[in-house]
Amino acid sequence: MSYTLRVDTDWASQITNLRHAISEDTNLIRFDNGFYRVCRPGDGRISLTVSPRTAPKIGLLLTMRTSDLYIETIGGLSFSRYASTLAYQRPTGISLDDAIHKLSQEPRHPLRPQDRFIAQSVIVFCVAESLRFNQIGTAVQQAIIATHGQLLGVSSQFPINAWSEMAKNWGQTSEAIFAAMSDEARNIVLKPRASLSSKERQFSERVDTSKLGGKLGDFARAITVLKRPPMG
C-alpha cells in the first residue's frame, strides 16, 4: 500500500488518518477515554511519500514496517537508528521542508554523510513518533503552524529532546501496558479483528497506568499506538 504525507498545517489530522489506515483498533480504554490502537501482525510494509509544504510535487519515499512502525528505508537508503545528536535538533516547518528537499536531490547533489544522517533522523522521528504518540504529532503540527506565523505563543522550533526519552521507551512501555492487562483483554487485543465474536467486540477494559508507575505510567498516557508483542 502507498500513502502520502505533506509537511503542512494539518499535519496532525494527516497523521491520524494514516494511523487509522495502517494500525488496528482495540477496546483498551486510555486515561482520556479514547482507545489505544495496536500495530498489525505479520511482516507487512507500506510505502510513504513525504512532501514539503513549499514544493508538494517533490517527494521522499519511505518504507515502513506495519508491525512496529519502524522506517527501514528513506530515499532508497537503509535506515536503522537515529543519529546520536538527534536530541539536540530543533527543527521548524522550514527546516523540515529543507531536509526533504536536500535528501530528494541526492545523489545529484550529495550531502556530507553526517548531514544526511541528521536530516534522515529528523524526518523519521517526526513521522514515526507522530504515529506512535498523538502528542508528538500535535507538537510537530504546532511548530509548522508557528513557523508560518499562524500560531501565537508557541515556538516554531520542535524540541526533539523534550520527546526523545518517551520515544526511546515506546517498546518497553507497550510491553508494560500489555503486562498490566487482564488475560482476557490481552487475548482479545492480539486476535485478528475479523475473527472476533460479537461478545469480544463489545468487550472493553480500562488500562490502569498507575500500575506501571513512574515514567512508564506517564509515557503510557501519551502512547496512541501500542507496539505488538512478539508471537509466542
- Amino acid letter, residue 214: G
The pairing of beta strand 2-6 with beta strand 45-51: parallel
* 99 vs 91: CA distance, rounded Å: 9
Predicted confidence pLDDT, tens digits, the chain (232 residues): 999 999 999 999 999 999 999 999 999 999 999 999 999 999 999 999 999 998 878 899 999 999 999 999 999 999 999 999 999 999 998 999 999 999 999 888 999 999 999 999 999 999 999 999 999 999 999 999 999 888 888 889 999 999 999 999 999 999 999 999 999 999 999 998 889 999 999 999 999 998 898 899 999 999 999 999 886 5
Domain boundaries, the chain: 2-226
Give the predicted TM-score (pTM) of the model. Answer: 0.94
CATH code, 2-226: 3.40.420
Burial (CB count <10 Å: 0-12, 13-18, 19+), residue 142: buried
The distance from CA 88 to its chain's CA centroid, rounded to whole angstroms, is 19
**What distance, in Å, lies between the first and last C-alpha atoms of the chain?**
28
Beta-bridged to residue 28, according to DSSP, are 205
